[in-house]
Amino acid sequence: MIGFMEEQLEKFQEHYQNRGRLLINCPDAPGIVAAVSKFLFEQGANIIESSQYSTNPQGGNFFIRIEFECPNLKAKAVEMENSFFEIAHTFSMEWRFTYVSKIKKTAIFVSKELHCLRELLWAWQSGDLLTDIGLIISNHEDARAEAKIFNIPFYHIAASKDNRASAEQKHYALLEEFDIDVIVLARYMQILTPDFVKRYPNRIINIHHSFLPAFVGAKPYERAYHRGVKLIGATSHYVTNDLDEGPIIEQDIHRVDHRDNVEDLKKIGRTVERNVLGRAVKWHLEDRIIVHGNKTIVF
């Protein structure tokens, strides 16, 4: 399986070796799009896709994502980025270039619930998630068989509130060894320490099994049942040190009624969780998300 996926990724990298992306966040002002478009034109680039958003044309913030093709992009990338500093300074931009052929490396953390892990693996196998899944880490053994099917390295690291710091030292070593870019918590039911979160800002994606901000924390389905809700949902967000309050990437809901017990809610919710997490991870991998404060702009 790994050999097949490596072959597919190599073909993808070759096909998109000249494809780049530019993401910008800055104060809104006249001339931003014109200046950026002119810059890319002078670099010999052709704009493939462009999406933009302004919070308020009069003194608000401006966001734009541009995907472009540029001959010999790999060779001229550093020069292009250096040349962009002048425009960035003029408009007080926060900005970054990314390169489609540089496949992001992903680590998946999971506990006993495997439905979100399976969704990610299926999407990865089918080519819908263009990433290199470096490893799976779990505080239980349940996911070992799934990892073996896909020939992905699996590491069981016992973790609880009593040994959280020592467990994370092992996590750090593995994440560095595999050169991981993004961490996905696919129903990993452990709270991360502030030090861990600080090391990976806007690079840890979580799935929470409720429609936040409702039912933050543990046992949201049980609390939703006792509250008698008519809608349940799931939320994928970036992890911060405020529990389940990081920037929201994606959400969805499903209608329920009085006939549904807690187990029914969990069964219905698993489908919502899988879909929401899958979309959030895909958008992150495609550089479609700009974080602004505790919100996201998703193009």
| Residue 4 resides in a domain | no
The answer, yes or no, to whether residue 1 has pLDDT greater than 80, is no
Question: Where does the pLDDT of residue 4 fall: very low under 50, low under 70, confident under 90, or very high at 90 and above?
Answer: low
Q: 270 with 212, same domain?
A: yes
Closest CA to 192 of 167, 216, 222: 167
Domain end marker among 99, 120, 144? 99
Q: What is the DSSP code (8-state) at residue 192?
A: P
pTM of the model: 0.95
The reported pLDDT for the residue numbered 14 is 87
pLDDT of 87 reads 97
Report the C-alpha gap between 85 and 201 in whole angstroms.
Answer: 23
Q: Are residues 191 and 292 in the same domain?
A: yes
Cβ-count burial of 88 within 10 angstroms (0-12 exposed, 13-18 middle, 19+ buried)?
middle
pLDDT in tens, 161-210: 889 989 999 999 999 999 999 999 999 999 999 999 999 999 999 999 99
Q: Is 28 a catalytic residue?
A: no
Domain count, the chain: 2
What CATH number corresponds to the domain at position 30? 3.30.70.260
Question: Looking at residue 58, what is its pLDDT?
Answer: 84
Domain span at residue 174 reads 105-298
Joined tokens for residue 28: 């809104």
d(CA 73, CA 275): 34
Query: Structure tokens of 297?
Result: 């702009």
Residue 234 has pLDDT above 90, yes or no: yes
What's the N-to-C CA distance of the chain in angstroms?
Answer: 32
Domain end, chosen from 43, 75, 99, is at: 99
Q: What are the tens digits of pLDDT across the range 62-105?
A: 999 999 999 999 999 999 999 999 999 999 999 999 999 999 99
Query: Which residue of the set 181, 244, 260, 287 is catalytic?
Result: 244
187 shares its domain with 47: no
- CATH number at 158 reads 3.40.50.170
Residues 152 and 287 in one domain: yes
Answer for the pair 280, 184: CB distance below 8 angstroms, yes or no. no
Same domain (yes/no): 95, 163: no
- On whether both 61 and 188 belong to a single domain, the answer is no
At 3, is the pLDDT very low, low, confident or very high (cuts 50, 70, 90)?
low
Decide if 11 is inside a domain: no
User: So what's the pLDDT on residue 5?
Assistant: 72
Is residue 6 situated within a structural domain? Answer: no
Shared domain for 122 and 82, answered yes or no, is no
The reply to whether 127 and 174 lie within a common domain is yes
pLDDT of residue 7: 78
- Cβ-contact 102, 19 below 8 angstroms: no
The verdict on residue 10 lying in a domain is no
The reply to whether 141 and 210 lie within a common domain is yes
pLDDT at 295: 97
